[in-house]
Each structure stands twice: as C-alpha cells, then as structure tokens.
Structure 1
Amino acid sequence: MTRRGAPAFDVRAAQPGEEDAIARVCRAGFAESSAGLLPPDVIDLQARHYYDVERLRRELAPQPHDPSWQGYVVAVSRDDEVLGAAGGGVIDERVGHVLVLYLDPALRGHGIGTALLDHVTAQQLAVGATEQWVSVTEGNELGIPFYLARGFVVRGRVPYVPVRGGAPVATSLRMSRDIRP
C-alpha cells in the first residue's frame, strides 16, 4: 500500500522486538496530539505509563480467548521500520474500542492511519463487533477530524483523568460509528 510521497508500507500484527519502535511512535504521536490540551507533566506521565517498553512487551500480542485486547498492529515500511501502531479490543461482544492509534507525525495524510484503523476494525468485525468507539481529547485537531472523516460521531464528553488519578485535566470526546458490514 502506498500513496504519492509516502513510503510503501504494510500493516500487520506487531512482532517481538518492535516494542521500542512502537513506544517511540506512540509517545511522539501522543505528545504532538496532546500539546496545549494537557499539562506537560500529564503528557509525560501518560506516555511513560501507556508506552512503557515492558508494558508493550506484555501487551504486544492478543490475549488468548479474551477479545478485549486484540494486540498491537503496526504499519511498517518495506525495510521493517515501524511507521505507526494501533490496537483495540471488543467489550460486551458487539462493542469495539480503538484504544491506541498513532503514527510518525511526519507521515500524516498518507493513508497510514486509515490502514491501521481498517486493520483494527477488521479484527473487531471478526469477533462480532457491530459498533466501534474511541475517546479523543477535546480540542485534538489531529484526531477529531480523522475520526469524523471516517464516520465517527461525537456521542458525549467525559472527564480526562490522568492515569494516577486526581482531578480531571481536560475533557475527552466519546465518539462512535456503526461498523456492520
């Protein structure tokens, strides 16, 4: 898969040994999309917590017999450079959740994010999901237009509470779309 000006890439299940590259891409994407929306210390805390290499190692693959986490998928260049990563799962049998989707910020607009979302969606459809949800920090000028363009609709707002708890530091939009074939 390729678009003019973008590297050729494939989307596949993440493999052992790619944890550092996934952490790099997700931390950079999270920091860029959260800048000005979350306090810098919260951005750092969240990125270190969710994209810790040891955590990624444990969560790299799907959990056997548990579709609530279907493992990381990656977009990789022809020379196996990780360009983006995504992951999600299905809760309540029919409700899929996109839990992470980031790519190298320099590669936005070349179809990589869409290909990652399509792969996660296919995983969720394969286990019976009929709708898909995602949370995006309100004001995220990178994520919100991306999801709206792919048929997601804002369904509500919830407080954004940092991983260690405490007072909310922002608001997240809860967005969903129908994914029935």
Structure 2
Amino acid sequence: MKPRAEHVSGIAHVCAKGWQQTVDGILSARYQKKNMAFWYNHDKVRTDITTGVYSHVAIVDGEVVGAIGGAKTEPERGDVFVLYVDEAYRYQGTGRRLLAALTEEQVANGASEQWVSVEKGNWRGIPFYEARGFELQGEQKKMTDTGEAHTNLNFRRVI
C-alpha cells in the first residue's frame, strides 16, 4: 500500500529500529541517536512520504510492519533507498513483497537495473538482496560526521 500521513509514526519506528539493529556494534550510540533524530523524526518522514521517498508500506492490523523507499535515479536505473521490516514480521515474505512492489513501479517507469547500498556486515540485508539476484559491485568506505569509519556495499541486479 502507498504510505499516507497516518503511517508517519509507524514508518519512523520501523525504520529507526531496523537501521539501529543494522549498525549496532558498527557505529557509536552517539552517531545512531543523531542519525535517527535526523532521518526518522516525524516531520522528515512526513516530508519523505509527500516527496515519494517512501513508496510502500506493509500494514498488519492497522500497524506499519514494513516500509520501502526508492526512486528511479537515472534513465534506466532504480535505487532502493530504504527497506525495513519489524523484527516480528521478518522472514515471512513482507520484505520480498515490498521490494516486488517497488521493482514493479521502477520497471513501469523504464528502469532496467536496480541498485541498493547495504552496510558491510548487515547479515540480514546482504543475504536478502543476494537471494533476489543482486550482485556485489563494489564497496564504498565512508566517514561519519562523528569521525567513524564504515563501509557500504553496493549491489546491482537486472530487472
């Protein structure tokens, strides 16, 4: 389903918790708190829904249990910006269905390839994307504004 204003709190919660679980042990609690306050505050999530950053949500019993966002970033390229599923609903097809919905949109808009960046060491995300045909294209070393080094792995698949 397309996200709406009433999903702001649920999206913020699912994404903040999922991102925190992804970087726990990799990035400091200080950086995590700062990053979550920026990306997953309700005003930012509301704006990101309006601008299309969040493209689909999974709802169970009226609650957001998953969210995905992405866009066509080049004439033939679609990107996955964010995909998180509440831990109680993981491994039940929620993430797969969210990715399929985003992929269908991107293909309909002319994309023939899809990219995603995953934190190195993300033992949930890496196998998920590899199982769906994404192949490692390289890595990108980054430095946070708090001086912490980390690495993103860039994956691509033909769609």
TM-score bracket, normalised by the shorter chain, equals over 0.9
Q: Report what 1:174 is aligned to.
A: 154
User: Normalising by the residue count of structure 1, what TM-score does the alignment of the two structures yield?
Assistant: 0.82
Within a 5 Å distance, the mapping from 1:8-27 to structure 2 comes to 12-27=1-16
Shift of residue 148 of structure 1?
0.7
Is 1:143 the equivalent of 2:144?
Answer: no
CA distance in 1, matches of 2:146, 2:53: 29
Which of 101, 126, 129 is matched with 1:119 structurally? 101
Instruction: Determine the C-alpha separation between the residues in 2 that align with 1:95 and 1:125.
Output: 9
- Cα root mean square deviation, aligned: 1.5
In 2: Cα distance, 1:140 partner to 1:47 partner: 18
Deviation per CA, 1:11-49: give whole Å up to 9, x if none. x10011210110000011111121112222222222221
Q: Does 1:155 align with 2:137?
A: yes
Counterparts of 1:11-90 in structure 2 under 5 Å?
Answer: 12-61=1-50, 63=51, 69=52, 71-77=54-60, 79-90=61-72
| Equivalent pair of 2:31/2:146 in contact (CA under 8 Å) | no
Percent identity among equivalent residues? Answer: 36
Partner SS, residue 17 of structure 1: helix
CA distance in 1 between counterparts of 2:138 and 2:112 reads: 19
Aligned residue in 2 for 1:4: none
**Which residue number corresponds to residue 128 of structure 1?**
110
Shift >6 Å, 4+ stretches: none
Of Structure 1 and Structure 2, the greater helix share is in 2
Letter in 2 for 1:45: K
Contact map agreement 1:74 1:83 (CA 8 A) in 2: yes
Deviation string 1:101-140 (CA, Å, 9 cap, x unpaired) is 0010122100001011111111111110000000111011
Structure 1: gaps spanning 5 or more residues: 1-11, 64-68
